Amino acid sequence: MILKKLKCSLALPELVKITQDPFRTLIMTIISQNTNDDNTERAFDNLSKRFQITPQVLATAEKSQIEECLYTGGLYKNKTKTIQSASKVILEKYQGNISSILSLPLNDAREKLMEIDGVGPKTSDVVLLFSANKPTIPIDTHVARVSKRLVLTPEKSNYEKIRSNLQFLFEEKDYLSVHLLLIALGRKYCRSHRPLCVPCPVSTYCPSSKQGIQHG
């Protein structure tokens, strides 16, 4: 019921545009760590204008030039390091193509992606869901917060607990929509501070809803 209501009430965020190429999705997701969408987009655009987004090019590019492109995305030094080491691993272990990882069963593919320095569960799940259509739900800060407020998962759930609870509650065919719609709900209504419970489209199903009162 919650999903139906969300589908009727919210536009899907534009994250879908990162779906085409798994390596681009990987790089975009690394850039998005700990920063907002506008900054991610700006940094990714800068990088795409200066370099071809391939492991071959990024592994050997001048570090300072990548840093310059990523400056607006924050943590640009760490992200540059991660991007270059991921590119090198993909070149050396997978001949520059991560399709062989994506064709593995979900858990094996997650494991292989997470062996790459700086690639954690969220980045792996984004790549696997968006670029390989694998049945997994990436958990970002919006998804985590909203899932807890809607009591789709206990308050103290960690990443894996939230993911497994959501995957239990929803059908596989809806995983992409669940991910995108919970992000949209978190951005528009269920914000970290002062969530907008009154106009929120799922307030009638939400145990945390404070109708008429804004959360502090």
Q: Which is nearer to ligand SF4, 44 or 189 (CB)?
A: 189
Q: Which is nearer to ligand SF4, 55 or 186 (CB)?
A: 186
The contacts of residue 197 (CB under 8 Å, 6+ apart) are 189, 203, 206, 208, 209, 210, 211, 213, 214, 215
Regarding 183 and contact with ligand SF4 (CB under 6 A), the answer is no
For 54, the 3-state DSSP assignment is coil
Regarding 200 and contact with ligand SF4 (CB under 6 A), the answer is yes
Determine contact, residues 142/191, Cβ cutoff 8 Å.
no
**Would you call 92 exposed, middle or buried from its count of C-beta atoms within 10 A (0-12, 13-18, 19+)?**
exposed
For 59, the 3-state DSSP assignment is helix
Regarding 32 and contact with ligand SF4 (CB under 6 A), the answer is no
Regarding 9 and contact with ligand SF4 (CB under 6 A), the answer is no
- Shortest separation between residue 203's beta carbon and ligand SF4, angstroms: 4
Determine contact, residues 189/182, Cβ cutoff 8 Å.
no
Q: Which is nearer to ligand SF4, 23 or 189 (CB)?
A: 189
Q: Distance between CA 210 and CA 168 in Å, rounded?
A: 27
Regarding 202 and contact with ligand SF4 (CB under 6 A), the answer is yes
- Size of residue set near ligand SF4 by CB under 6 A: 14
Q: Which is nearer to ligand SF4, 127 or 181 (CB)?
A: 181
Q: Which positions touch ligand SF4 (CB under 6 A)?
A: 146, 149-150, 189-190, 195-197, 200, 202-203, 206, 208-209
